Amino acid sequence: MVYSNLPSWLIIPKRFNIAVMLFMACLMSYMMRVNLSINIIAMVKSTDANSTEELPDYGPRYDWSQSDQAMLLGAFFYGYMITSLPAGMLAENFGGKRVAGYSCLFAGILTALTPLAAAWDKWAVWALRFGIGFLTGVVYPCCHNLVSKWSPPDEKGKFVASLMGGTFGTVITWPISGVIIENMGWDWAFYMVGIFVVVVVAVWFIIVDDSPAQHSTISIKEREYIEKSLGDTVSNKKRFPPYKALIVSLPFWSLLLLHYGSMWGLFFLITATPKFLSEVLGFNLSSAGFLSSLPHLARLICAFGFGSVADLIRRKNWLSVTKMRKAFCLPSHIIPGILLIILAYFGKDPYVCVAIMTISLGFNGAATASNLQNSQDLAPNYAGTLYGIINCVGTTPGIFSPLIVAAFTEENNTIDQWHYIFMIGAAAYIVPALIYWIFGSGKIQKWNELDTSSSKEEIVNTKL
């Protein structure tokens, strides 16, 4: 090895590099997902017929109604939902490296073409957004597949927290886009994202491999450590997912609902927060972009904190995995839901609104120790498939929440209309958590086995 003569503390483990690139893959995915949420504010004419204020010149403005804007914001999620479902199976059979890498590359190209599509027709933008969603729908299931191959069990929390790169993508995209729009025009807010994605994808193909056994520069010591820690819970054999077993699995269904609730809160804030801060609370674009990113920054920081605590609990055996997952539902779902109820009734001051949304989504960072990690518990062999299914269903809030916002704000876009929107979000957080407390599990399920005729060597250890 090139680094064999270096002190051990100077040698960076290859799994750390993999975790960094998982972070970057999710970051790219979210940059392409959320940029339209703030860019569209600079792309449209005023929908207020009584307004006489002249809008800043950030580039061409289009006559898109509130319903048109909701349709365009939701287009991404229609495409995303389609490929989320088979993505895990694609990663398990063709490798997460290639499936995620090429998908991000082509999605980055489509992102850079968005200004050209907007000049043509709103339906061209819809088609492009659908295509970007279709391509990036595979990213998270692929990442979960790679986590299942690279992460020792007592490092799982930090590995899953690395998937919060998507949250960081939101954190940096909105304020940077606001600055780019005000100084260069909204078209460059699309071009810069496209360029960034192409560069990162090139690095992705250099660093990432589908498993430690396939990595050309990993040390024998690290490879054996990872493989020994995973034992026989993960196999590299190609296989068909156990869909029939999933249909009758209560732990899986409770996980699906828990993930849905978390995604409702997240996607609502992604698609609606810039609009709420700009049009209802009156912040300018750069301020709206910065303030909109604060809840996601809080979620990112808290995610690593909660993930590390979960790893410590598992390493010390303080709680069973099942009890730990259910315990973390309190900060990941219950508390954020309660805070949205408080926001609905007391969120009259702009800065109070921002503070409550920030704290709420910060607590949701505990999802790294609840819904975001539970697919790894139930079936390590099919972690990508499970996450693909729950993410497919969990994508629908990205479609529904802009439509709900548009329905409540079509005639009047004031804080009073947003009261009902926040209450819906609170229910979406709390109810799934209550169901998960009853039916959820952290045990490896029997259907994690490759098939019913598996030999004794292939049967997984279900002791947790």
Q: In the chain, how long is the greatest CA-to-CA distance?
A: 76
The lowest-confidence range among 212-226, 272-286, 370-384, 387-401 is 272-286
CB 235 within 8 A of CB 450: yes
Residue 157 has pLDDT above 50, yes or no: yes
Based on the fold, state whether residues 133 and 271 are members of the same structural domain.
no
Q: How far apart (Å, rounded) are the C-alpha atoms in residues 329 and 334?
A: 7
| Pair (223, 257) in one structural domain | no
Average pLDDT over residues 24-32: 94
Instruction: Report the pLDDT value the prediction gives residue 202, as an integer from 0 to 100.
Output: 97
Averaged pLDDT for residues 388-395: 87
Indicate if 259 and 385 belong to the same structural domain: yes
Residues 164, 256 within the same domain:
no
Residue 56 lies in a domain: no
Q: What is the pLDDT of residues 73-89, one digit of tens each?
A: 889 988 988 898 888 88
**Statement: residue 416 has pLDDT above 60:** yes
Domain containing 371 equals: 249-446
CATH code, domain with 203: 1.20.1250.20
264 and 173 in a common domain: no
In whole angstroms, give the CA distance from residue 293 to residue 273. 9
Are 196 and 268 in the same domain?
A: no
Q: Is pLDDT larger for residue 241 or for residue 347?
A: 241
pLDDT at 236: 62
Number of C-alpha atoms within 13 angstroms, CB side, residue 225? 12
CA–CA distance from 8 to each of 4, 13, 19, 385, 405 (Å)? 9, 10, 19, 36, 54
Contacts (Cβ under 8 Å, ≥6 apart) of 302:
362, 363, 364, 365, 366
In this predicted structure, the answer to whether residue 7 has a pLDDT above a threshold of 60 is no
Neighbours of 232 (CB within 10 A): 15
Q: Is residue 339 part of a domain?
A: yes
* Within-domain flag for 294: yes
- Provide the pLDDT for residue 453: 42
- Assess if residue 19 is contained within a domain: yes
Work out the average pLDDT over 65-70: 86
Q: How confident is the model at residue 248 (pLDDT cuts 50, 70, 90)?
A: very high
Query: Quick one: 339 and 421 in the same domain?
Result: yes
User: Residues of the chain with pLDDT > 70: what percent?
Assistant: 88
- Answer yes or no: do 312 and 341 share one domain: yes
Q: Do 362 and 256 reside in the same domain of the chain? A: yes
Q: What is the torsional sign of CA 178, 180, 183, 185?
A: negative
In tens, the pLDDT along 85-141 reads: 888 889 888 889 999 999 999 999 999 999 999 999 999 999 999 999 999 999 999
CA angle, residues 153, 159, 164, in degrees to nearest 5: 145
Give the pLDDT band of residue 452 (cuts 50, 70, 90). very low
Cα angle 183, 172, 151 (rounded to 5 degrees) comes to 155
Q: Report the number of distinct structural domains present in the chain.
A: 2
Contact 130, 280 (CB under 8 A): no
Whether 236 is covered by a domain: the verdict is no
Same domain, 367 and 278: yes
Q: Which residue has the higher pLDDT, 377 or 53?
A: 377
Separation of alpha carbons 142 and 130, rounded Å: 20
Instruction: Give pLDDT, residue 431.
Output: 97
Alpha helices in 13-95 (DSSP H): 14-43, 66-94
CA dihedral 299, 303, 305, 308 (to 10 degrees): 180
H or E segment and range at residue 310: helix 285-316
Q: Residue 44: beta bridge partners?
A: 62
The SS3 assignment for 44 reads strand
Residues 309 and 198 in one domain: no
Residue 462 has a pLDDT of: 37
Indicate if 309 and 438 belong to the same structural domain. Answer: yes
